[in-house]
Chains A and B, each alone.
Chain A
């Protein structure tokens, strides 16, 4: 549905143009923005219908729905941008429930003055991520807020997925004796953002790990291992995720710090800034808790997937009604891995 007649309207000036208030007013400017920028990148049969909602085919199984808002600053960072991040984040939330992600919606809050070239880059990155994941954006919305009322662009995505078998994953299913696995190094995303934000240059570049994990999850589910919990340790890092699971399940946990994979450059950067990598966000990692007898088989399956090549067994679930997450430190002492107190890193996802 195109209101600007070919040959009459002027195309969007992507190179020099900026978001103006009328891009959100429902008039010609908005339609042009949607056609020439959003549709051009994200277009598919659902969006092409031009309706306010998408009618989707029947799905057989239990439906899973998840939503996630993204307010990351800066919008572009080493290894990604807010566009692909907003696709990966929601796909992962759906996948962690054991579902196959099917569709996404995307809602944009644009700040007056945002460069159209930046918006195009972001939307194209989103489209690329969605295509790679095989999960289309089927409906969306844009709003414009006055300059100073936003930070370039905020993106909220919602995902729908389906569970076709009898998989039951939930944060309250960890049992004493279960094994805790992690799919790779920690802290990469948070430190990539922070190094860009603070203008810090480290010897080795630190790159965000942002990635869609549903492929890895599918192979883990197919392995037949008795999985109890899957969760992606985003905001608050591994420490926050394990504390949440411990509290939901009413158990304790014991980690062995020396076994937790850490990219040396991330470790050095954390040390420099006085941060603990256990609390730094990830966007392409998952924690899995499974029955102890299946742990080694599951680890082998994870190792065989490119996004799980550095997976490791990092600890076990304990009986502890106080729900403490403890760690044996690198030098052999013992300590708590506590909930984060206060704000370690604002606006990283």
Chain B
């Protein structure tokens, strides 16, 4: 608890905020993207924007695994579970992501879909062992942090010789998404990145170097505590003011240059790059996601059940794409807080607590209308 308090200390936060206010040039605009949903949540949860001067704008990035999952991928899972009568295991947030025709994995349940919520891929593997007569498929999503546990589970399934366990792999890669954002926008409007916390513990700080070197964008890797984020913003302002573009690491208590070699080796052993993968909002990006290597083909649900992928356009009114690209804010979506709420999400950004729309709805929506305070 002391550890947490140290990173939430109000007086320290005010000191950093004062430095930021002093050092940010009033004539400049600082458009900073926090890539990770974890940072988006922390910024909203702690009201961090209130401590920043008006010319520093935090732009929410696409680093929320549930948000970037395209509708077609959920549709595919629903088809699988209904047509092949398998048991599908997924993380809780995946269950509520809207699919085509008003469906979701949760709403498929009353139609006979055996969909279970799990906390880890190992839970799914255990279920496969407990019900050998039924096929169990794990719906794997996430960035580099959740990939090693999926890899370990697949290896375990192979060691056990399980014939009724497989994985739909939707694991995606952080650097590929950052490339896509910078290439798409020509990098014009972004001045720097708050780099991921947990992802960086796995991949290290080196993969961000091209963004500094080739695109001239400073990156500061930082933790999820509010003071970490404040400190990273100060470091970004200092880089921008002095014309530097470097990868700096504020999160040295957890992140190294090389990252976690063991986890990387495990991932590399089980997975290889997909040629292309569709992301919600960012479109189809080459070499941006993973699939199982041929040596593990029997655990690849897409092969085992002959699944095809059919892309589906997003809901007409939904601005998730623009939000995930950092082009719009949640409140600029016409149906934000009216048709689309956490209870009844229309787009994926309203589902997970890390989604930009859910975070703004839950913690910040009162700032949109005039506040009447006593």
Contacts and interface: CB of A to CB of B under 8 A. Distances in A.
A335 B44 contact: yes
A333 B366 CA distance: 13
Given A258-B10, A326-B366, A268 B51 contact: no
B364 A331 contact: no
B364 A332 contact: no
Contacts of B361: 338
Given A265-B1, A332-B14, A335-B363, A341 B343 contact: yes
A318 B46 CA distance: 21
A333 B373 contact: no
Interface in B242-269: none
Given A331-B226, A331-B227, A336-B363, A176 B374 contact: yes
A315 to B, nearest CB: 12
A267 B4 contact: yes
Nearest to B12: A331
Contact of B342 (A258, A319, A324, A341): A341
Interface residues of B, number: 34
Contacts of A336: 362-366
Contacts of B8: 330-331
A142 to B, nearest CB: 34
A6 interface: no
A329 interface: yes
A341 B363 CA distance: 12
Contacts of B338: none
Contacts of B51: 331-333
A320 interface: yes
A199 to B, nearest CB: 13
B10 A330 contact: yes
Contacts of A324: 366
A335 B1 contact: no
Contacts of A319: 372-374
A131 to B, nearest CB: 37
A336 B359 CA distance: 10
B49 A333 contact: yes
A338 B362 contact: yes
B352 to A, nearest CB: 11
A197 to B, nearest CB: 13
B48 interface: yes
Interface string A323-349: 010101111111110100110000000
A300 B127 CA distance: 55
Contacts of B374: 176-177, 316-319
B50 interface: yes
Contacts of B162: none
Interface string B201-234: 0000000000000000000000000110010000
A254 interface: yes
Contacts of B366: 322, 324, 326, 336
A156 to B, nearest CB: 29
Contact of B47 (A177, A271, A322, A335): A335
B13 interface: yes
A22 to B, nearest CB: 34
B371 interface: yes
Given A252-B372, A267-B4, A320-B373, 8 more contacts: A319-B373, A330-B10, A331-B48, A334-B47, A336-B364, A338-B361, A341-B342, A341-B343
19 contacts: A177-B374, A268-B4, A320-B371, A320-B373, A321-B372, A326-B366, A328-B47, A329-B46, A331-B10, A331-B46, A331-B226, A332-B14, A332-B47, A332-B50, A333-B51, A334-B367, A336-B364, A336-B366, A341-B362
When A and B form their complex, which 9 residue pairs have the shortest distance between CB atoms, in order from nearest? A333-B47, A264-B1, A331-B13, A341-B342, A335-B363, A333-B50, A335-B47, A330-B8, A334-B47
